[in-house]
Amino acid sequence: MTNGLADVRRGDQRRALWLSTIAFTVCFAVWTIFSIIGVQIKNDLRLTDTQFGLLIGTPILTGSLIRLMLGIWTDQYGGRIVYTAVMLSAAVATWLLTFAHDYPTFLLAALGVGIAGGSFAVGIAYVSRWYPPERQGTALGIFGAGNVGASVTKFIAPFIMVAYGWKTVADVWAAALVVTAIVFWFTTRDDPKLAARRLSGAKPEPMSALLAPLKNLQVWRFALYYFFVFGG
């Protein structure tokens, strides 16, 4: 089965890369939203430093853990539909955040907001399928620049929060996710590998095959390194 790269149009390829990068930027901005609005929430609820730290860390935990399943679903069903679903799900969770009224409900909402962090695994898989191996490094390097979304939150969110309150920040970020999801869905295409698989009638790899790498100790060791470097 061919990966279909020979038939890829340059315009589709570029849209996949740049719209994935923009979507990742928006998702990353939402993923780190508590680093800003959490300050006001801490004052409103009179949280301790420990409670505040847990509130900020909860979305990061969700985003990290959900990446495994999102990566598998991307391989099975394609990055376009999974990426869109991630953005819409995170948008709903971010909007529902404005209805939280005590610490437990804020933690629950934070779990949902963390879905946005899973966009990294989806975008990596989706973008890489549009490029041959010798060009994937450059493409994924461009996509990785979406990490700047954290800076977007840190630079813009404080102004909105001071002027209109933290709930407006959540509403604006949720709306940005919805708009991005709609644009992404209607302007991108299924990746070449998925299109070729559907054309041939082949079935996606079973879950057992996709989970097989977890039997390799090296995978867990690299995950531990990542935890200390990024998580820590």
Tokens of 133: 């191996």
Question: Does pLDDT of 2 surpass 50?
Answer: no
Residues in contact with 86: Cβ distance below 8 Å, sequence separation at least 6, in sequence order: 27, 70, 115, 116, 118, 119, 122
Tell me if 15 is assigned to some domain.
yes
Residue 210 confidence (pLDDT): 78
Tell me if 228 is assigned to some domain.
no
Residue 216 CA, distance from chain mean position: 25
pTM: 0.87
Count, residues in the chain: 232
Tell me if 230 is assigned to some domain.
no
Percent of the chain with pLDDT over 70: 95
Tell me if 199 is assigned to some domain.
no
Domain limits at 102?
5-191
Q: Dump pLDDT digits (tens) for 150-179.
A: 899 999 999 999 999 999 999 999 999 999
Q: Dump pLDDT digits (tens) for 9-66.
A: 888 899 999 999 999 999 999 999 998 999 999 999 999 999 999 998 899 888 888 8
Tell me if 68 is assigned to some domain.
yes
Q: Return the sign of the alpha-carbon dihedral for residues 174, 179, 185, 191.
A: negative
Q: If you ran DSSP here, which 8-state letter would residue 131 be given? A: S
Q: What average pLDDT does the chain have?
A: 89
Q: Residue 70 maps to which CATH number?
A: 1.20.1250.20
Residue 160 confidence (pLDDT): 95
Q: What total of structural domains would you count in the chain?
A: 1
Residues in contact with 181: Cβ distance below 8 Å, sequence separation at least 6, in sequence order: 23, 84, 87, 88, 91
Residue 1 confidence (pLDDT): 41
Q: Dump pLDDT digits (tens) for 78-114.
A: 999 999 999 999 999 999 999 999 999 999 999 999 9
Question: Does pLDDT of 4 surpass 70?
Answer: no
- For residues 183 and 213, the model is more confident at 183
Mean pLDDT score, 125-133: 92
Tell me if 210 is assigned to some domain.
no
Question: Does pLDDT of 231 surpass 60?
Answer: no
Tell me if 207 is assigned to some domain.
no
At 47, give phi and psi (nearest 5°).
-80, 150
Question: Does pLDDT of 67 surpass 90?
Answer: no
User: What DSSP letter does each residue of 43-98 carry, written as one string?
Assistant: HHHT--HHHHHHHHHHHHHHHHHHHHHHHHHHHHH-HHHHHHHHHHHHHHHHHHGG
| Cα distance between residue 220 and residue 90, in whole Å | 27
Tell me if 215 is assigned to some domain.
no
Tokens of 4: 């279909």
Q: pLDDT band for 230, please (50, 70, 90 cuts).
A: low
